[in-house]
Chains A and B, each alone.
Chain A
């Protein structure tokens, strides 16, 4: 993870094991039948925040104003911090000795489980902010439900992340309104961004066997229950932003959750994973 080195504890794997031994008991973590689905689902949670966090970090030093630059980088930092928690738990559930770093830096595209929405290039600020809003509205509602998960480990990560994502949603909905209901150019760009991203939004709510298994176990909500709340938030904000909801299918672009990605993810990983691939095991 792109954070400061933990110089006090160079043996991260041993520390993770030690920490795990002192965690609150969670029957789901050791449930053999549930293990493949839970691992996949935790990778989805971690990969969404990792890939979106990486995309946002690409703005660092390129923001249109200093304040925006700082805001985008801070949001990226929150998401990457959340990634560490989700992927560490995924590694623990998998029980094959992989750490969060191993999962982030040493998997190939087909093993990534993020939504296609979050891997699309940033393009202009309109696309970046609109994507942020469409995802934040989903992420916020999902985490709210997950904070009451039957898995104490999932619930504590969600409760922590929710506080940060509340901020993301407030900020992105603010900006969608300001720019949508702004100048002619900002309005046109926001509408174009919405039209472009719309076919990718349905994937968030398209449940497969993995989603059904974790919902069945009470770990995560049914995605069909999250959808109406997301729709309400999106409708409210878009109408205040004077933007028109596209009249087209919202789930034309799916498959990311199953590892079928756009060509863009490979380029993103090539940059993100370069150092660990070129110098395996390199540390600070």
Chain B
């Protein structure tokens, strides 16, 4: 007797229902951390890439994906950790960016990932950073960085000079 396996499109849809444990408004597919879904004979293989290598949410994400897919009737399942290519915020979907903004987190500004170079340092020291982060609450571009790090590894802390509210910026990575 053969059982009809769900299509990988169907599995992707199910995965889009799995929230990120730290920022529950976005799903694991919005974040771009699900890299592949495939059937290996009767085994469903889901390849997941970590965001930051020490992010404690990684284990929880694996658990949530597994639990959700089992609830959908997938019994034979294997999760693979994929390191290469390393995760980048370029993979955060447009929809994910809108959801972040609505939740009060400024989405990443593409192409501004840290490169370890000192040019960026000089610009920042003189206060003339060309990186403009728009306040997700009032839309002002008069914002300033409070700290390069925030409540989770993927975020930095900012403050709006117009509405005076603090907010998180999802760092370009």
Q: How many residues on B have C-beta within 8 angstroms of the other chain's C-beta atoms?
A: 42
Assuming A71-B147, A156-B84, A159-B85, is B54 touching A167 (CB within 8 A)? no
Instruction: Indicate with 1 or 0, residue by residue over B137-160, a CB within 8 angstroms of chain A CB atoms.
Output: 000000000111111010001000
Q: Contact between B148 and A160 (Cβ–Cβ < 8 Å)?
A: no
Bound-complex Cα distance A9 to B65 (A): 13
- Residue among A7, A164, A169 making CB contact with B53, cutoff 8 Å: A164
Taking the closest CB of chain B, its distance from the CB of A208, in whole angstroms, is 27
B32 within 8 A of A: no
Bound-complex Cα distance A170 to B116 (A): 5
Q: Contact between A9 and B85 (Cβ–Cβ < 8 Å)?
A: no
Closest residue of A by beta carbon distance from B154? A74
Assuming A78-B153, A166-B114, A173-B118, is B84 touching A5 (CB within 8 A)? no
Q: Contact between A171 and B148 (Cβ–Cβ < 8 Å)?
A: yes
Binds B, one of A81-89, A183-191, A216-224, A264-272: A81-89
**Interface size band for A:** 35 or more
Cross-chain pair count, CB within 8 angstroms:
115
Q: Contact between A7 and B59 (Cβ–Cβ < 8 Å)?
A: yes
B85 partner residues in chain A, CB cutoff 8 A: 159
Q: Contact between B60 and A163 (Cβ–Cβ < 8 Å)?
A: no
Binds A, one of B7-15, B23-31, B99-107, B119-127: B119-127
Bound-complex Cα distance A255 to B159 (A): 46
Bound-complex Cα distance A71 to B80 (A): 30
B81 within 8 A of A: yes
Taking the closest CB of chain A, its distance from the CB of B158, in whole angstroms, is 11
A75 partner residues in chain B, CB cutoff 8 A: 149
- Residue among B53, B63, B117, B150 making CB contact with A161, cutoff 8 Å: B53
Q: A157-B83, A166-B116 are in contact. List 8 more A-B contacts (CB 8 A).
A: A6-B63, A81-B52, A159-B85, A160-B50, A161-B53, A163-B113, A164-B52, A177-B125
A-B interface, 3 closest residue pairs, ranked by CB to CB distance from nearest: A81-B54, A81-B53, A67-B147
27 inter-chain pairs at a CB distance below 8 angstroms, sorted by A residue, are A4-B57, A7-B63, A8-B63, A8-B67, A8-B79, A18-B78, A19-B80, A67-B146, A74-B149, A77-B52, A77-B56, A78-B53, A79-B54, A81-B52, A82-B53, A84-B54, A156-B83, A156-B86, A159-B85, A161-B53, A163-B173, A164-B53, A170-B120, A170-B148, A174-B124, A177-B121, A233-B118
